[in-house]
Amino acid sequence: MACPICEKRKGARFCPAKGETICAVCCGTGREVTIDCTPDCPHLVAAHRYEDEHPRALPPDTPLLDVTLPSDVIHTQQQLMAAFAFTIAKFCASQRDATDSDVLAGIQALAETYKTLRSGIYYEKPPDARLPRELYAALTSFIAEVKQQADRSNSSAPRDADIFFLLVFLYRMGLLRTNGRPRSRRYIEFLRGQFPDAQELKREESHIIVP
């Protein structure tokens, strides 16, 4: 049978996202671009494995690349960083359309807000797009809750500088984890994988039967 996408080449790969057999060329060119791939697709997994073996380099004009991260901030703030990662993963679990680009836009915008705080000026500019803006709001609410809990328990609240550095770290990690495709969820899946026992992040079982 001909590939249902190009209608030219012979179908050779079953596509769980389409529920049909498509050709290898359409699979390769449409993957995470025009095709909203399922994370357990064997062809997607194989492509991601190849990408892992050929890591991306960040271009010089990457936002926030000029920030020098303190060598100890990741170790001293491990619990807070894990909480940030879980908050992002939980948000994406409830927003199934969220992609890596949405996550990166939300993190970058919040990091830019905290960058202004370090200079003594508070300037907040949430993203315009809905999903990045809602993630921005979710992270902002989480930070406010952490600071309120610290006040109630008379413990030290996280410093704005540390929050900024952690956001920059998560942003850079995401840039290196994603592959830049419009519908990529590589970074999201990576964050989800850090909390294998979290029920809030469990994915529904696939009902597609691969022929």
Q: Kindly report the pTM of this predicted structure.
A: 0.90
Q: Give the C-alpha separation, 133 to 122, whole Å.
A: 18
Longest Cα pair distance anywhere in the chain, in angstroms? Answer: 69
Measured CA to CA, the distance from residue 26 to residue 7 in angstroms comes to 10
Residues 6 or more apart whose CB falls under 8 angstroms from that of 83 comprise 142, 146
Spatial distance between the Cα atoms of 18 and 22, rounded to a whole number of angstroms: 9
Mean pLDDT of 178-192: 96
The string of pLDDT tens digits covering residues 102-155 is 999 999 999 999 999 888 888 899 999 999 999 999 999 999 999 999 999 988
- pLDDT tens digits for range 8-42: 999 999 999 999 999 999 999 999 999 999 999 99
